[in-house]
Amino acid sequence: MSPTGKRLPHVTSPQTGSIPVPPPASDQPEEPSTRTITAVIAILAISAFVMILNETVLSVALPPLMAEFGVGATTIQWLTTGFLLTMAVVIPTTGYMLSRFSVRTLFIAALVLFLIGTAIAAIAPNFGVMLAARVIQAGGTAIIMPLLMTTTLTLVRPQYRGTVMGLNSIVISVGPAIGPTLSGVVIEALSWRWVFGLMVPVAMIALVIGLFLMPKLGGGTRVRLDLPSVALSVLGFGGVITAVSSASELAHGSLVPPAALAIGVVSLVIFTLRQKKLQAAGDAALLDLWPFKERNFSLSVTILTIAFGVMLGSVVVLPIYAQSGLGLTVLATGLIMLPGGITQGVLSPVVGRLYDLLGPKLLVIPGVLILCGAQWWLSTISADTTTGQLIAMHVTFSVGMALVQTPMMTHAMSSLPLPLYGHGSAILNTLQQLAGAAGTAALIGALAIGAAWAGTGDAAAQVAGAKLAFAVGGAIMVVAVVCAPFLTKIPRR
């Protein structure tokens, strides 16, 4: 509602729902003030930062958790993969939720879900309970992320979007980057359970602040949720991720990977056809595919998802290599990853401003080349690699990520007209989390395969597995290198 009691007009989509758009001056001169816009985005960004840390917060704790819960690397990685997969499945349904409920209501629901999941994780007695807690956490995180991106793109003027998205990218990219360092410090001083225990009061403070400051925007529109599409997305995304994460079982004659892949691919094909049918009939598709008609959007999403997937996969593999291959402590592993996280945090807003001035190519082409080169450099690791070399490799990768993430997020969304922001946000967030899950599963699968091929002791096997994992990451990044030169600058609307 507006201050005068009138309902604000909205851009409505099945994905991100009803986001308020300032009406023409003749109808309502009092547009949202800069202070109001800043407060809304700040609340969402801070809350999202706390939540998104959980994508990688357990990465340095995976070896201790493997020992405590008695599971292997391909199983324990589901604590990260399951988190990301849940987000990929839930994000498209946020449009339905945003149509029915206000941003304030969903903000509260997201924080409550996150708090419940975090509290359960802190006391989880076994792997199953821990995985369930991670899924609950992801449900809350999945609601926050589309709110942050769509609100930014709707309320911020085009000439400032790169700068603001650069600040937002600190949430999306730097959160996962510094998660291992923070958890390493906590685990060394206390235990892995306190990684979650200390998040509970932080999330509670964010919830209380949001209760007072988050405005009531959106909601009140009834939109049908297409349940068959939800089921197909679960089978499709889940099947593909299961196939990738269990690929190492092929060596033992398991039929799970090919069966899961077949189910996933068939379900995704049916899912895509159903979305097109719903769109043609003027019905509410779960994931609207119209933004893919925009060439810059398709290219940007491809580059971003590849980079994000390789980043998260690397952030999970690197601690396993450092602890199991080099014998480093949890704290030392976290500190090794700190310079890269700081580098990415410092560069992200600067790169966002440079995007506003230079456009995408001068940033993204060097960025993907650096990312690709860093992955191949990481593939040269050995049992004799020094911590200084490892830090240099990770910092180089982080520089490349900073040059790619903010420009590609901004470029993808800016290539769309205003009515498609909601659709584009849903696709971008969904595919980014799905890519993170796939990248983690692929690199962990390569780690397991490489370790099995080595046929040596535990430490040497982990080194061999990590080398193969990073080589797979380098090969995947080649696709982004090929796509980057085809980006074009977008005229400001």
Indicate if the pLDDT at residue 77 is higher than 80: no
User: What span, in angstroms and rounded, lies between the C-alpha atoms of 360 and 356?
Assistant: 9
Give the pLDDT confidence score for residue 367 in this predicted structure: 93
User: What span, in angstroms and rounded, lies between the C-alpha atoms of 452 and 458?
Assistant: 10
User: What span, in angstroms and rounded, lies between the C-alpha atoms of 77 and 317?
Assistant: 10
Give the pLDDT confidence score for residue 171 in this predicted structure: 67
Give the pLDDT confidence score for residue 27 in this predicted structure: 40
Give the pLDDT confidence score for residue 191 in this predicted structure: 79
Q: Where in the chain are the domains? A: 33-225+286-486, 226-285
User: What span, in angstroms and rounded, lies between the C-alpha atoms of 319 and 77?
Assistant: 12
Give the pLDDT confidence score for residue 313 in this predicted structure: 86
Read off the DSSP letter of residue 23. Answer: P
Strand, coil or helix: 239: helix
Q: For residues 69-74, give the mean pLDDT.
A: 76
Q: Are 426 and 442 in contact (CB under 8 A)?
A: no
CATH superfamily of 33-225+286-486: MFS general substrate transporter like domains (1.20.1250.20)
Q: Are 77 and 316 in contact (CB under 8 A)?
A: yes
Q: For residues 49-68, give the mean pLDDT.
A: 76
Among 38-52, 172-186, 266-280, 297-311, the range of highest mean pLDDT: 297-311
Q: How many CB atoms lie within 10 A of CB 6?
A: 11
> Looking only at Cα atoms, what is the longest distance across the chain?
75
Give the pLDDT confidence score for residue 19 in this predicted structure: 39
Among 215-229, 298-312, 416-430, the range of highest mean pLDDT: 298-312
Token pair 């290599």 is found at: 321
Average model confidence (pLDDT) across the chain:
78
Q: For residues 288-312, give the mean pLDDT.
A: 87
What is the CA angle 334-141-31, rounded to 5? 120
- The two beta strands, 10-13 and 17-20, are antiparallel
Read off the DSSP letter of residue 8. Answer: P
Q: How many CA atoms does the CB half-sphere of 57 hold within 13 Å? A: 28
User: What span, in angstroms and rounded, lies between the C-alpha atoms of 464 and 474?
Assistant: 16
Per DSSP, what are the bridge partners of residue 19? 11
Residue that wins the pLDDT comparison between 154 and 477: 477
Helical segments of 77-174, H only: 78-90, 94-100, 103-122, 127-155, 158-169
Q: Are 288 and 426 in contact (CB under 8 A)?
A: yes
Q: For residues 302-314, give the mean pLDDT.
A: 89
Of the listed ranges 163-177, 182-196, 367-381, 388-402, the one predicted with least confidence: 163-177
375-423 residue pLDDT tens? 999 999 888 888 889 999 999 998 999 899 888 888 888 888 776 776 7
Q: For residues 97-119, give the mean pLDDT.
A: 85
Q: Is the pTM of this model over 0.85?
A: no
Indicate if the pLDDT at residue 323 is higher than 70: yes
User: What span, in angstroms and rounded, lies between the C-alpha atoms of 267 and 258?
Assistant: 14
What is the CA angle 157-298-172, rounded to 5? 60
- Main-chain dihedrals φ then ψ at residue 20, nearest 5 degrees: -65, 135
**pLDDT grade, residue 105 (50/70/90)?**
confident
CA distances to 98, 195, 348, 461 from 101, in Å: 5, 32, 33, 51
Of the listed ranges 21-30, 67-76, 368-377, the one predicted with least confidence: 21-30
- Helices 295-320 and 458-483: crossing angle, nearest 10°? 170
Q: For residues 30-39, give the mean pLDDT.
A: 63
Indicate if the pLDDT at residue 34 is higher than 60: yes
Q: For residues 462-472, give the mean pLDDT.
A: 88
Q: Are 476 and 305 in contact (CB under 8 A)?
A: no
Query: Token pair for residue 425?
Result: 């946000």
Indicate if the pLDDT at residue 56 is higher than 50: yes
Give the pLDDT confidence score for residue 378 in this predicted structure: 92
Indicate if the pLDDT at residue 305 is higher than 60: yes
Q: For residues 427-444, give the mean pLDDT.
A: 80
Token pair 């009140």 is found at: 220
